[in-house]
Amino acid sequence: MPARRISRSAMPIRDPQTNLNTTSNVSHPTIVAMDPSENDDSAVHSQLCQHLRFLYPNADTERLADQVIAIFDDFNSQTPLPLHQLWSQEDCLLITYGDSIIDRDTVPLETLQQFLTEHLKDSVSAVHVLPFCPFSSDDGFAVIDYNEVNPKLGDWSQISQISQRYRLMADIVINHVSSQSQWFQNYCAGVEPGASYFMEANVGDDLSAVVRPRASPLLRPTETASGLKHVWCTFSHDQIDLDFRNPQVLMEFLKIIRLYLQNGVSIFRLDAVGFLWKEPGTNCMHLPQTHEVVKLIRTLTDAFAPGTWLITETNVPNHENLTYFGNRNEAHVIYNFSLAPLLVHALLTGKTEYLKRWMMSMPPAPVGCTYLNFTASHDGIGMRPAEGLLSDEEQLQLVETVGRFGGRISTRRTADGGQRVYELNVALFDALKGTIDGEDEWQVERFLCSQTVMMGLEGIPAFYIHSLLATANDQAGVEATQHNRSINRHKWDWQELQQRLGDESSVHHQVFGELTRRMQLRRRHAPFHPNATQFTLQLSDAFFAFWRQSTDRSQSIFCVHNMTNTTQELRLSDLNLISTDAWYDAISGRRFDEQTTVLEVTPYQSLWITNR
């Protein structure tokens, strides 16, 4: 067996009788009324003071810590869950907008619940409902009011209902707010709350090193009661960056987290958190204060809502992304951003070298941490995480190929004033309709292979709803909004979707049915625990393969994927299967006997070869 990763097989498995994430009976952090006579928050208070002293060295940190504790004054400090109970192989996440499926007779959040109940109750354990607050742009990421649910989607009761059956993941859009928010209106008027909440800069400040995900001007001139100001806009001029150097901004977001906990949210996605703290003259990315804010939030959720997961959204090169595990005291989960561009590249070119090289360089997640594996999202396929992994020529080839399949690109501005590709905007199903040589007949098989790779890897798989549904590029959506990202944000009519899923000849039926079958298979196999041992296998260049072993060492699964459009031969002897065990492919059900020495692996076929 190739020796790459340090085994964690001594780590105990979660007792299935106390599984916290089964779809039938999800257990969430319990909110308990606090009895001051029975509860001592001194340890939490002391830890908060350390965080706050680092962030605000000139402030009265004792008073600030008291203010934080008061926000959670009706929560009891509780014992954090054992690290091995945070997740299991049964965990699988759905990513969706609240209105990705619409029915004219029902509010969208109720339609979403109906879809989950009828089609996914045995397949997913968690649901990420993308921003559900009132907003002014960016499909929810320019929040007007964090305390309200967008009435076009539903209300807090529907949010809470979803959380009763599934772990509910929500966005904390923490870097910026809408220009239409009351905070920003107050800023312009010079009144609190808001007058001191936003990041300002002077036109002459040295901002040349600031990392941007957009090509628009960084500063927005704004007339205020105090005259003309220039406010910081990392993303767009409708998304105004907050100034966390003011501790009251932090307090506002802690109140939002408390509200979300009370409504059933148990997974927090800290959106664009890497940009949070700004210091002119720096690149304003991943500054030490940003990491300290994440640590502070982690301290609070561990103390008052144990079992809550923090996920940091940092669409950046891999080495930067990994820093958000901290010393196991920041994010529980980080996105595996490099997976999507490398996997798409491998499937379009038939070359696995870049994917294998990245896989072999990835460290095992620290105990109590894991990766969130995804291949598509509401944003597109980020290309920054491929920097340093794919050459410029390989990236250009990827861009050109996806462009031929109807995809588009978004760019970012570099420090030298130039532009680079920031993301590919495309529906993943259409991105895989062919190879660098053009379209072919293997689109469904190639797409299923991409999702099966994701399901097998160390970490928790996350399916974007339009991947599950094999949704094509929404070119009409792009024309309507004039935004490239709309290409992968289609809104399905509920009746039409039901018809497509029920039609056996429909590609949507075929893909959805097979993916959910494999999702359910995955849940039954302990080697797919998010922290189970993983080794990269060195087979022929046509194969991307890895070995997973359950944490008690009783079961192995060899995940083998033909990444080409030609049939390949696989010698079982190359896998070093233990001869005393009976082996079979969990996906096809095919069993292997002593006479089986060579397998014919068809284009884009995936195998889960296991001994149990």
Q: Which residues are catalytic?
A: 271
Query: What's at 328, amino acid-wise?
Result: R
Find the farthest-apart pair of alpha carbons in the chain and give their distance in angstroms, rounded: 84
CB neighbour burial string for 360-388, b if at least 16 within 10 angstroms, e if fewer: eebebbeebbbbbbbbbbbbbbbbbbbbe
Burial class (CB in 10 A: 0-12, 13-18, 19+), 391: exposed
Torsion of the alpha carbons at 134, 139, 142 and 147, rounded to the nearest 10:
30
Which residues have a Cβ under 8 Å from the Cβ of 171 and sit 6 or more positions away? 130, 131, 140, 141, 269, 271
List phi, psi (to 5°) of 333.
-135, 135
Decide: 296 and 52 in contact? Cβ < 8 Å. yes
CA 595 vs CA 324, 556, 573: distances in Å: 49, 21, 12
Give the 3-state secondary structure of 382-393.
ECHHHECCECHH
Among residues 423, 438, 416, 355, the alpha carbon closest in space to that of 390 is found at 355
- CA dihedral (357, 358, 363, 369) positive or negative: negative
DSSP 517: H
User: Residue for token digits 């067996």?
Assistant: 1
380: alpha, beta or left, given left = phi > 0 and alpha = psi -120 to 50? Answer: left
The amino acid sitting at 147 is N
Tracing tokens 């929040």 back to the chain, one arrives at: 143
Please give the angle made by the CA atoms of 25, 270 and 78, to the nearest 5 degrees: 50
Q: Indicate the SS3 state at residue 533.
A: strand
Strands (E) located in 336-406: 370-374, 381-382
